[in-house]
Every structure is written in C-alpha cells, then in structure tokens.
C-alpha cells in the first residue's frame, strides 16, 4: 500500500534537507512543509543558493534514495530535544522548540506547525533518516525509496526567517513531487501551457483591460472590448436567474459603519475595509460585500411566510483593501465585481432553492465546457463551538444539501470542517481545458446574518421566525472568472462571447467603402464587427486578425464588391470558404443563439 502523496512529499523534503547537510555541513534549517504539488525547505548557508547548488543537491538526493535509509520516529522530552538541536547547531529549530515550551506552538506558517500534544505534554517527536535528524510531527514513509521518482527541485526564492524582514535571510528551495514520473511530466506540460495562456499577457494583447499607474494597482480598467465580454456573461447569468423569480435591486457603494457593526463584519474584517471620513467626521466604509445591504431591503417591511422565498440579485462592485504585494492581474484585485444574489427563505425551503441555484450553476458552467465537481462543505462535528446558529437548523440544512447531492447521482466530495462558521455550503470546483481546477460558484447558507440583522418572517402561527439567507453568486468575482475564462480558451472566445465576432479585411484601399458598408449591415443584424482599413497587406491583416482571435474573417476584394458570395475564414482553419451573405449571417446568429463553442 503506497503512502499518501502528502507523506511522500514531506519525506522528500527531509531527503532534500539531508542532502543539503551533506553538501553544506554548516547549513541551518528552517521549516520544510508540504505544499500544493510538492514541498519546500528553508535553509541558511550564509549565501544565495545557485542553480549549480540545486543540481548538486538533486544528485545527492538521488544517492540518498539509492542508499534507502529508514525513517525512524522517536519521542523525546522537550528539554532533550532542545539540547539535541543545540548540539547540532540548529539554532532555528531551538527557537521553535523554545516557542513550543513557552507558547504551546511552533507556528511559523499554517503549513507546518507543531503543537503541544495534549496527550503527551512536554514531549516532541523527531525523525531520523540515516545520519540526518529533524524535528517533525510526521508522518513519514518507512524507507526513502517509497518517495519514488516523480519529484524534481524547481526553484529558489529568498525569504526571511518567519517572514519578518528584520530576521536573517534564508533560501527556500522548492520541489515538485507526484506519484509517478509520468504525472510529474504531465504537470510540467500543463504548467508550460498555462504560461502561454497567462491572462495578464492575453488580456493586454486582446485589449480587454488595462491598468493605470495613476489609478493604482489592483484596479483594472475595462476597455470597450472587455466590457462587452463582461456584459455578455452577466446577461447570461440574468437570463438563467430570471425564470426562477429573482428580482434586481440596487444599493449604494458606501455605508455607515453601523451596518457592519450590527452585522458583525466590522469586528471580523475591519482591516480589509476601505474607510472614509465624512466632512462631519462620520466614519463610512466602501462595501466589501452586499449581503448586509440586501437584508435592509428585505427588512424594510414585515414579511409573511407566504411571500417567501424572496430573491434579490445585483451585479455590483465591492472593495477590499489587500496588500499591494498580493495583487496579481485579475486574480487578485481591490475592486471586485460580484454577480451577487441572496435568497431569503425558511429552513424548510432550503432544498428547493438550492436545487434552483444548482441548476443555474450547472447550465452556466456547462456552456463553457467546464466539468464541475461539488463539495459538501459541512461542520466538523468534533468542534461544535466553531459554528453559530442552532444545532437543529444546522442538522436540517445539512440534511437538505446532502439529500440533494445523493439524489443527483454524481461524483461529489465530502468536506467535513469546510463549512463557514455561519452555515454549510456546496462549493463547486471547475476543471478547465488544460486540467486545472478552480473553485468557482458556491451555494452558501447563512444563519448568522439574519440573526444579527433581525431578518425574519411571520409564520403560520403568527410568530416571528428567523429566515435563512442563501448567498449564491454564479461567477463570484467577474474579474477572477474572466481570468479563468481567458486562460481556459487561451483568449479564443466562442463566437457568442467574442468582443469582435467578424473582422472585415479589405484587400486594397478601393475596397474600404464597401467593407464599411458591409460592416454597417452586419452590425444592424446584431453582429459585432470591425474593419481593418490599415495599409497592411491582406496577408498581414489575416495574421493580425488571427492574433486578435476574431472567430470569423471576411476578405473583401473585387469579386465580393461585384456582388459575389463572401469569402469567409474561420479562426484556426487554414482554408477559406465561399458563403452567400445571408447564409453567413444566419450561421453566425445561430451560433450566438445556441452559445455554440
Ligand atoms: Zn518533517
Ligand atoms: Zn452574500
């Protein structure tokens, strides 16, 4: 039975550290956790690590794997451990152990922390691999060879010990580690493909969005082309929502601090809020979310159970103050457009409503060819203190969601402990065209905001009954969804979604007037058309249009001007074809109608 991949990744980190110690006996080690797809180890050799060093370390690691030492665990007392690592000159480990002694944890990062074991206070575990000893909570493989050959050291980064720039600098060596060499290779091929599709690069080439030094980082400005795509996506969501009884609402982008104090967000998220002081010295905030505002529309009148569910939808920007170092393309921005919606319903209506949201999510993501896997994010039953709301409501709501998942007879993932503190949810993972998965839509139940903001209905017995809120954005953040979509399609949007659907390419200057007249006609029929009237050769114009990812090109010359059929080029196809104008228009409109991919 092979060990879980995380165990092998972490064991590979130990072998790397062992190799480093052989080559650099003076090296001091920091932490070496498992990360997505691999591992890293922070080391201090008093100088930067070079690519040649990495080669040498890799060679030494191979040697160690051949020697195949066992991984042996020992439990020793904290004081013994401190003495041991002092003798080994591992001062960073000694610091961690002293932390463990005084604070009960070695927490440096979420990935690797050793906590005092309540069953075994005053003890820690260490692992020996050949001559190498490390402080570690495990688990590990039993012999080094179980790590296999699906690994590779990838890159080096300079970091500070414990992330503080007043601490010594260390070198972080990263590695990938998979079950097999074939899986490692497949991953590298995928990442190379991902790099070619980078949305920051493609977004610029396709003219979808720009950034301005004056406006600031993390604040994308959407061009007419980018705005066209955003609007089409948003219209599509609305088209799916409307039959289910959603109503549109509109709220201001700022609010008095009081709203977030009452909702509980101020206490939790005050740091992430953009705050505004008014001339009268009142404190306002830019909204980081829309839910509390929407509750105020609901609560503006007394609601009978007969009116429920009430469903509000609004596509609007929210603002979150992030550290500028974290901002990246469209994936991490300060101004986030949400296609937000909130359903107010009774606990007994959760199942029905969740079904409807699911249907919208399914249809939306299917249209782009994403495969979805839902995750049932529920309570960690061992930690009831983590969750707000009555256990009875949680039981009912979780049972509704689970019943729905089971009935659908699809693959789903169980997520104990993945619920939010305010309610259970279903999270959807989408697999894109190159095999990467992204967390996308969620169906998120919320018992807490209705309680904090006193959102209720009058039930059959004439009593006040607290309602449940379902947060159900379909794209979530349009910015992030656009980044995923651009990379999924490598910028080649299907015709219905392309900002420019038809590019008209006049062969010579004398065909320009005809080209513009044709463009006008196609526009009147509902297509998005542009004319390339530059002085380039027609060959160059075709290459440019291909680069701009226009799904259709029309080459117009003398024959077309004399009333002949249109000469049509389809994106990605070498041959051109002749089509009568009406047939061409009908074909395009049909593709739009069907959202053909
Ligand atoms: Zn370890
Ligand atoms: Zn919400």
Residue 111 has pLDDT above 60, yes or no: no
Question: pLDDT tier at 421 (50, 70, 90 boundaries)?
Answer: confident
Verify whether residue 128 is a known catalytic residue. Answer: no
Q: Which candidate, 242, 220, 234, 204, places its Cα nearest to that of 497? A: 234
Task: Please report which ligand is nearest the Cα atom of 17.
Answer: 1
Task: Please report which ligand is nearest the Cα atom of 7.
Answer: 1
Per-residue tokens: 23: 């080559």
Give, to the nearest 10 degrees, the angle between helix 478-489 and helix 224-241.
Answer: 110
CA of 539 to the centre of ligand 1 (A): 60
Verify whether residue 52 is a known catalytic residue. Answer: no
Per-residue tokens: 356: 């409807």
Task: Please report which ligand is nearest the Cα atom of 314.
Answer: 2
Coil vs helix vs strand at 156: strand
CA of 291 to the centre of ligand 2 (A): 4
CA of 41 to the centre of ligand 1 (A): 10
CA of 341 to the centre of ligand 2 (A): 7
How large is the average pLDDT for residues 44-66? 93
CA of 137 to the centre of ligand 1 (A): 6
Task: Please report which ligand is nearest the Cα atom of 34.
Answer: 1
DSSP classification of residue 227: H
Per-residue HEC secondary structure of 413-459 comes to: EEEECCCECCECEEEEEEECCCCCEEEEEEEEEECHHHHHCCCEEEC
- pLDDT tens-digit series, residues 205-238: 999 999 999 999 999 999 999 999 999 999 999 9
User: In this structure, which CATH number among 3.10.580.10, 3.10.20.30, 3.30.980.10, 1.10.3720.10 belongs to the domain 5-191?
Assistant: 3.30.980.10
- pLDDT tens-digit series, residues 389-408: 888 889 988 998 999 999 98
* Predicted pLDDT at 397: 87
* Predicted pLDDT at 110: 45
Alpha-carbon separation of residue 116 from 11, 72, 85, 111, 341 (angstroms): 22, 20, 18, 16, 44
Q: Which residues of 186-221 are buried (b: 16+ CB within 10 A; e: fewer)?
A: ebeeeeeeeeebebeebbeebebbebeeeeebbebe
CA of 595 to the centre of ligand 2 (A): 29
CATH 3.30.720.210 is right for the domain spanning 201-362+440-489 = no
Q: Which of 90, 114, 338, 501 is catalytic?
A: 338
Residue 58 has pLDDT above 90, yes or no: yes
Query: H or E segment at 200?
Result: helix 199-205
Q: Which candidate, 260, 402, 245, places its Cα nearest to that of 318? A: 260
Verify whether residue 282 is a known catalytic residue. Answer: no
- pLDDT tens-digit series, residues 332-360: 899 999 999 999 999 999 999 999 999 99
Residue located via tokens 């500028």? 324
Residue 597 has pLDDT above 50, yes or no: yes
Per-residue tokens: 102: 């005084």
* Predicted pLDDT at 265: 83
Alpha-carbon span 125 to 284, nearest angstrom: 51
Question: pLDDT tier at 268 (50, 70, 90 boundaries)?
Answer: confident
* Predicted pLDDT at 118: 62
Question: pLDDT tier at 107 (50, 70, 90 boundaries)?
Answer: low
* Predicted pLDDT at 198: 93
* % of the chain surpassing 90 pLDDT: 78
Question: pLDDT tier at 374 (50, 70, 90 boundaries)?
Answer: very high
* Predicted pLDDT at 146: 93
* Predicted pLDDT at 539: 94
- pLDDT tens-digit series, residues 134-156: 998 888 999 999 999 999 999 99
Q: Please, what sign has the CA dihedral across residues 265, 271, 275, 280?
A: positive
Verify whether residue 155 is a known catalytic residue. Answer: no
- pLDDT tens-digit series, residues 59-77: 999 999 999 999 999 999 9
Give yes or no on whether 5-191 and 201-362+440-489 have one common fold.
no
Question: pLDDT tier at 305 (50, 70, 90 boundaries)?
Answer: very high
Q: Which of 340, 432, 446, 532 is catalytic?
A: 340
Task: Please report which ligand is nearest the Cα atom of 33.
Answer: 1
Per-residue tokens: 335: 């101004």
Ion ligand 2 residues within 5 Å by Cβ: 291, 471
* Predicted pLDDT at 164: 81
CA of 562 to the centre of ligand 1 (A): 77
How large is the average pLDDT for residues 237-247? 97
- pLDDT tens-digit series, residues 8-31: 999 999 999 999 999 999 999 999
* Predicted pLDDT at 119: 64
CA of 381 to the centre of ligand 1 (A): 29
Domain edges within the chain: 5-191, 201-362+440-489, 495-594
CA of 166 to the centre of ligand 1 (A): 26
Average pLDDT in the chain: 92
Q: What is the CATH number of domain 495-594?
A: 3.40.50.800
- pLDDT tens-digit series, residues 469-523: 999 999 999 999 999 999 999 999 999 999 999 999 999 999 999 999 999 999 9
Phi/psi for 184 (5° steps) reads: -60, -45
Q: Which of 152, 320, 378, 528 is catalytic?
A: 320
Question: pLDDT tier at 101 (50, 70, 90 boundaries)?
Answer: confident
Alpha-carbon span 338 to 317, nearest angstrom: 6
Verify whether residue 320 is a known catalytic residue. Answer: yes
């Amino acid at each position: 039975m092979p060990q879980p991949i995380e165990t092998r990744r972490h064991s590979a980190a130990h072998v790397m550290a062992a190799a480093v110690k052989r080559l650099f006996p003076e090296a001091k080690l920091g932490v070496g956790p498992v990360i997505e797809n691999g591992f890293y180890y922070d080391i201090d050799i008093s100088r930067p690590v070079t690519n040649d060093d990495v080669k040498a370390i890799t060679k030494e690691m191979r040697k160690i794997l051949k020697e195949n030492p066992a991984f042996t665990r020992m439990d020793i007392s904290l004081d013994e451990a401190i003495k041991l690592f002092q003798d080994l000159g591992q001062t960073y480990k000694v610091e961690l152990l002293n932390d463990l002694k005084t604070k009960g944890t070695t927490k440096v990062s979420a990935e690797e922390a050793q906590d005092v074991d309540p069953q075994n206070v005053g003890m820690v575990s260490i692992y020996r691999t050949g001559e190498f000893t490390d402080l570690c909570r495990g688990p590990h493989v039993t012999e080094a060879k179980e790590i296999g050959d699906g690994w590779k050291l990838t890159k080096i980064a300079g970091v500070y010990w414990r992330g503080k720039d007043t601490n010594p600098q260390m070198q972080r060596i990263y590695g990938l580690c998979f079950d097999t060499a074939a899986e490692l290779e497949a991953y590298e091929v995928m990442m190379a493909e991902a790099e070619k599709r980078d949305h920051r690069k493609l977004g610029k080439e396709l003219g979808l969005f720009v950034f301005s030094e004056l406006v600031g980082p993390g604040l994308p400005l959407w061009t007419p082309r980018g705005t066209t795509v955003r609007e089409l996506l948003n219209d599509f969501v609305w088209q799916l929502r409307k039959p289910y009884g959603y109503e549109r609402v509109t709220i201001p982008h700022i609010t008095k601090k009081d709203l977030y104090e009452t909702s509980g967000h101020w206490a939790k998220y005050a740091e992430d809020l953009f705050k505004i002081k008014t001339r009268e010295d009142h404190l306002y905030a830019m909204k980081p979310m829309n839910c509390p505002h929407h509750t105020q529309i609901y609560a503006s009148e007394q609601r009978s159970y007969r009116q429920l569910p009430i469903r509000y939808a609004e596509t609007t920007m929210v603002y979150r103050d992030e550290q500028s170092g974290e901002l990246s393309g469209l994936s991490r921005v300060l101004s986030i457009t949400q296609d937000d919606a909130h359903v107010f319903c009774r606990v007994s209506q959760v199942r029905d409503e969740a079904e409807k949201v699911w249907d919208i999510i399914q249809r939306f993501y299917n249209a782009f060819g994403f495969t979805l896997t839902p995750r049932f994010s529920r309570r960690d039953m061992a930690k009831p203190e983590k969750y707000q709301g009555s256990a009875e409501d949680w039981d009912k709501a979780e049972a509704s969601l689970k019943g729905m998942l089971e009935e659908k007879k699809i693959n789903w993932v169980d997520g104990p402990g993945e619920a939010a503190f305010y309610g259970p949810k279903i999270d959807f993972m989408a697999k894109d065209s190159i095999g990467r998965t992204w967390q996308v839509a969620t169906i998120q139940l919320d018992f807490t905001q209705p309680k904090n903001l006193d959102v209720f209905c009058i039930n059959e017995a004439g009593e006040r009954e607290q309602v449940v809120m379902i947060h159900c954005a379909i794209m979530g953040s349009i910015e992030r969804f656009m980044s995923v979509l651009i990379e999924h399609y490598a910028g080649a949007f299907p015709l219905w979604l392309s900002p420019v659907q038809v590019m008209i390419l006049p062969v010579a200057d004398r065909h320009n007037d005809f080209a513009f007249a044709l463009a006008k006609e196609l526009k009147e029929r509902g297509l998005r058309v542009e004319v390339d009237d530059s002085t380039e050769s027609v060959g160059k114009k075709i290459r440019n249009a291909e680069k701009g990812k226009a799904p259709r090109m029309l080459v117009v010359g003398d024959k077309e001007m004399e009333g002949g059929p249109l000469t049509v080029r389809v994106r990605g196809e070498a041959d051109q074809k002749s089509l009568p104008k009406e047939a061409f228009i009908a074909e395009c409109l049909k593709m739009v109608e069907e959202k053909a991919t």
